[in-house]
Amino acid sequence: MSDMTRTLGMFALVAVLILGTGFLQSWNSALLILNMGLVSAIMALGVNLQWGFAGLFNVGVMGFVALGGLATVIISMPPVREAWAAGGTGVMAALAVGAVTLAAAVWVTRKMPKGRARALAMLAVLIVGFVIYRALFDPSVDAIEKVDPALTGYLGGLGLPVVLAWPVGGLLAAGAAWVIGKTALGLRSDYLAIATLGISEIIIAILKNEDWLSRGVKNVIGLPRPVPYEIDLQNDPGFVARAEGLGIDPTTASTLYVKLGYGIMFTVVLVIILVLAQLALKSPWGRMMRAIRDNEVAARAMGKDVTARHLQIFVLGSAVCGVAGAMMTTLDGQLTPSSYQPLRYTFLIWVMVIVGGSGNNFGAVLGGFLIWFLWVQVEPIGQLVMNIATAGLADGSALKVHLLESVAHMRLLTMGVILLLVLRFSPRGLLPER
Amino acid sequence: MEFLNAFVALSNFVLVPAIAYGSQLALGALGVTLIYGILRFSNFAHGDTMAFGAMCTILVTWLLQGWGVSLGPLPTALLALPFGILGAAALVLVTDRAVYRFYRAQKVKPVILVIVSMGVMFIYNGLTRFIIGPDDQRFADGERFIISARDFKSMTGLDEGLAIKTSQGITVITAVITVALLFWFLNRTRTGKSMRAYSDNEDLALLSGINPERVVMYTWLIVAALATIAGTLYGLDKSFKPFTYFQLLLPIFAAAIVGGLGSPLGAIAGGFVIAFSEVTITYAWKKVVTYLMPEALEPDGLLQLLGTDYKFAVSFVILVIVLLFRPTGLFKGKSV
């Protein structure tokens, strides 16, 4: 029962923090923190599946989050007809050739006897495939990127409702995770870490450079939204009347309404995933996972297929991260590949899981909210502290200016200190696994 | 003549940069591999240790430049290097006392230490940005080139020029000296031998009276020196920006793993394997091939296999290939 009170107490604390932001700063920033907190909580749940349930060390969260973002573009943006006409078929054919080449190479490795002949045959398949692929790919890409590069210059998406992108983001991430898992999961934990770190960098590199797919560093802006636009609300007499009835001015009311809309949708997703994760944890499957985590050799001896189970949970956890990534891009309304930084999208999520309590779903959710709150609020708090600390220094002195400017970097420092303190004094997190 | 031109072009754009980059990676990977051998965990904070060490060097360099001290044609940073090493050494020793020693005493699983090093990484990264800011910093001075492309052309009469930057020359020379010193230390001195013994078999080493805390302290000192040297050389050669050092983590780890974690020789080999493959695969071969091929067969395209932004993909693919076919790396590393 004390577990229950502890959990409730911790979540009450988070509620107080967010409500406090609402009363002291503004309700807009409170809702902003809440919405990103919800997204962060889902990401933390995904990492908790992998690390807390199965002990898999995935430091490629950023890549799966970014794939979710890509799904948003592919699903919701209107297709660019001219670009499809110019090079759509060429790119698709090239991608098909690429896939066939890889499949053929795998087939050669499987079918031929080991030896020099096999290596040469595989190399030949790969080289021929690569040449055909580039011959098809390069001209089509050039053609696509020439189509009105200032506005489009990419294939666009399917023009479907944006909410559909959330499950699709999960599927994309799951597909990538399956490929990575197939190659890297049999390896030791630190090798898996480096492999996932590498994959996430590669995914970001693809998003930044393949302009035909995601417009690269030119960014995709103006993604469709699942909620109404503020300006439409402000022009809607019914809404204005209701806002005035509540005593809020219509502009603020419209921004709050939109953010609340997102908040409700995100809460629904979080609750669904949390319930599923909780059911999984309590099921025989969850017990098996923890048995594998705690003693792999014993679990294998009991006849459990450790590699297959690891692959399964790796794919599931990554899919959850992909869903969260799609939700985040929907919330932002744009895809900016250059904004994906490993410290923010991989390691911060790890801090959330460790601080919240790995192995405990509620812990992961708590960590998501709490660490996100701190990530946002450390800067203003740091500003305040620094202003007091430097009050004695002469105005305009170089040291004072430097210290005040550096406040922006307090975040990373604080996150590191929090992580180390939790690991030292409460290594199982704020809400330990039962 | 054609052949010579092709070779010079190849040296200018591939061989020289790759050798310099490889030396920097090798020094970084040596640090990672030593930590792995002695302390038995993958240190995620290594990139940021490099950044911190390089930052200390830069600050002292600016101080020296302000005093008007210089090394003539050589960059002043070389004079500042010992001070940078001292700064990094102080930082890692304090970190070890305050953070790692507690977990060492508890004999936690290596993966916990990796997570701890993630926290340390955040702190170092924050510290570096706090002190010097997140922007590019220039601190190179002295002669820019050992030999510039124009001089080379007028000397040899070839169409292609070969430029060797001072920073590239210094990188290679410093790396050779550092590696020689390191191997002398590991193989010839008592402390070095006790370090290797500790790395090979901890229990046996403890039984024969080796003081583990001493071994760990020396390891951190060496790692701080290696990281600072690697970080400063990289900064001289390219430019200093805290974030790029964080990104170096991937090629450095790839180098250490490809060579075989825990094996110093492997780290050096791995560094060069990664550097050469990154440079050759992202280089546009058109120029070299044009010299070598008869005119009829001259290529139209750039003959670039992958864009330069995909260099991470190269380290990654090599890493995966080596792991699939030789899981302990080229030189038998540990497989704990």
CB of B306 within 8 Å of any CB in chain A?
A: no
Residue B74 within any structural domain of the chain: yes
Question: What is residue B296's predicted lDDT score, i.e. its pLDDT?
Answer: 67
Percent of chain B with pLDDT over 90: 49
Q: Exposure pattern of B292-323 as b/e (b: 16+ CB <10 Å)?
A: eeeeeeeeeeeeeebeeebbbbbbbbbbbebb
Question: Tens of pLDDT along A210-239?
Answer: 888 888 888 898 899 999 888 888 888 888
Question: What is residue B85's predicted lDDT score, i.e. its pLDDT?
Answer: 96
Instruction: Point out the residue among B111, B120, B126 whose CB comes nearest to the CB of A409.
Output: B126
Q: How many domains does chain B have?
A: 1
Binning pLDDT at 50, 70 and 90, where does residue B318 land? confident
Q: Residue A89 pLDDT > 50, yes or no?
A: yes
Least confident of A187-201, A328-342, B33-47, B158-172: A187-201
Question: What is residue A30's predicted lDDT score, i.e. its pLDDT?
Answer: 94
Contact A29, A260 (CB under 8 A): no
Question: Which residues 198-237 of B have a C-beta within 8 angstroms of A?
Answer: none
Q: Exposure pattern of A387-403 as b/e (b: 16+ CB <10 Å)?
A: eeebeeeeeeeeebeeb
Residues of chain B contacting residue A353, judged by C-beta atoms under 8 Å apart: none
Q: How far is A231 from chain B (nearest CA, A)?
A: 37
Of B141, B159, B142, which is closest to residue B150 (Cα–Cα)?
B159
Task: Supply the DSSP symbol for A88.
Answer: I
Q: DSSP characters for B102-138?
A: HHHHHT--HHHHHHHHHHHHHHHHHHHHHHH-SS-B-
Torsion of the alpha carbons at A375, A377, A380 and A384, rounded to the nearest 10: -110
Cα–Cα dist B122/B246, whole Å: 10
- Interacting residues of B14 by C-beta distance below 8 A, sequence separation 6+: B276, B279, B280, B283
Span B320-336, average pLDDT: 73
Instruction: Point out the residue among A351, A412, A420 whose CB comes nearest to the CB of B126.
Output: A412
Residues of chain A contacting residue B310, judged by C-beta atoms under 8 Å apart: 202, 205, 209
CB of A184 within 8 Å of any CB in chain B?
A: yes
Q: Residue B152 pLDDT > 90, yes or no?
A: no
Cβ contact B316–A201 (<8 Å): yes
- Interacting residues of B69 by C-beta distance below 8 A, sequence separation 6+: B76, B79
> Which residue segment(s) compose the domain that B251 sits in?
2-325
- Can you tell me whether residue A415 is helix, strand or coil? helix
User: ipTM of this model?
Assistant: 0.89
Q: Residue A287 pLDDT > 50, yes or no?
A: yes
Question: What is residue A83's predicted lDDT score, i.e. its pLDDT?
Answer: 87
Instruction: Quote the mean pLDDT of chain A.
Output: 90
Question: Tens of pLDDT along B235-261?
Answer: 998 889 988 898 899 899 999 989 888
Cα–Cα dist A219/A213, whole Å: 11
Q: Residue A393 pLDDT > 80, yes or no?
A: no
Cα–Cα dist B278/B78, whole Å: 28
Cα–Cα dist B162/B305, whole Å: 23
Residue B334 within any structural domain of the chain: no
Cβ contact B327–A417 (<8 Å): no
Binning pLDDT at 50, 70 and 90, where does residue A388 land? confident
Residue B336 within any structural domain of the chain: no
Span A321-332, average pLDDT: 95
Question: What is residue A423's predicted lDDT score, i.e. its pLDDT?
Answer: 93
Q: To probe the interface with B, which of A192, A423, A424, A426 has the most B CB atoms within 10 Å?
A: A423
Q: Residue A1 pLDDT > 60, yes or no?
A: no
Binning pLDDT at 50, 70 and 90, where does residue B297 land? low
- Can you tell me whether residue A426 is helix, strand or coil? coil
Residue B83 within any structural domain of the chain: yes
Instruction: Point out the residue among B115, B130, B315 whose CB comes nearest to the CB of A198.
Output: B315
Q: Residue B307 pLDDT > 80, yes or no?
A: no
Question: Tens of pLDDT along A19-75?
Answer: 999 999 889 999 999 999 999 999 999 999 999 999 899 999 999 999 999 999 999
Cβ contact A409–B130 (<8 Å): yes
Question: Tens of pLDDT along A396-434?
Answer: 777 878 877 788 788 889 999 999 999 999 999 999 987
Closest chain B residue to the Cα of A133, Cα to Cα: B305
Cα–Cα dist B176/B139, whole Å: 23
Question: Tens of pLDDT along B41-76?
Answer: 999 999 999 999 999 999 999 999 999 888 888 888
Cα–Cα dist B276/B282, whole Å: 10
Contact A130, A99 (CB under 8 A): no
Q: B284-288 — which CB contacts under 8 Å span 24+ positions?
A: B287/B9, B287/B13, B287/B160, B288/B6, B288/B9, B288/B10
Residues of chain A contacting residue B313, judged by C-beta atoms under 8 Å apart: 198, 202, 205
Phi, psi for B157 (deg, rounded to 5): 75, 10
**CATH of residue B139:** 1.10.3470
CB of B42 within 8 Å of any CB in chain A?
A: yes
Q: Residue A90 pLDDT > 80, yes or no?
A: yes
Question: Which residues 77-116 of B have a C-beta within 8 angstroms of A?
Answer: 99, 102, 110-112, 114-116
Residue B103 within any structural domain of the chain: yes
Rounded (5°) CA angle B328-B333-B336: 80
Question: What is residue B283's predicted lDDT score, i.e. its pLDDT?
Answer: 85
Instruction: Point out the residue among A193, A343, A415 whose CB comes nearest to the CB of B42.
Output: A193
Question: Tens of pLDDT along B127-138?
Answer: 999 899 888 888
> Could you identify the residue written with the tokens 């790839």?
B254
Residue B68 within any structural domain of the chain: yes
Residue B222 within any structural domain of the chain: yes
Question: Which residues 2-31 of B have a C-beta within 8 angstroms of A?
Answer: none
Q: Is B198 exposed, middle or buried (0-12, 13-18, 19+ CB in 10 A)?
A: buried
Residue B333 within any structural domain of the chain: no
Name residue A282's amino acid.
K
Cβ contact B257–A191 (<8 Å): yes
Cα–Cα dist B126/A424, whole Å: 20
Question: What is residue B336's predicted lDDT score, i.e. its pLDDT?
Answer: 43
CB atoms within 10 A of CB A98: 17
Consecutive H or E run containing A5:
helix A2-24
Binning pLDDT at 50, 70 and 90, where does residue A355 land? very high
Q: Residue B202 pLDDT > 60, yes or no?
A: yes
Closest chain B residue to the Cα of A349, Cα to Cα: B118
Span A179-195, average pLDDT: 81
Which structure tokens are listed for A220? 């995709």
Cβ contact B257–A194 (<8 Å): yes
Size of interface A-B (CB pairs under 8 A): 129
Closest chain A residue to the Cα of B336, Cα to Cα: A188
Cα–Cα dist B133/B151, whole Å: 38
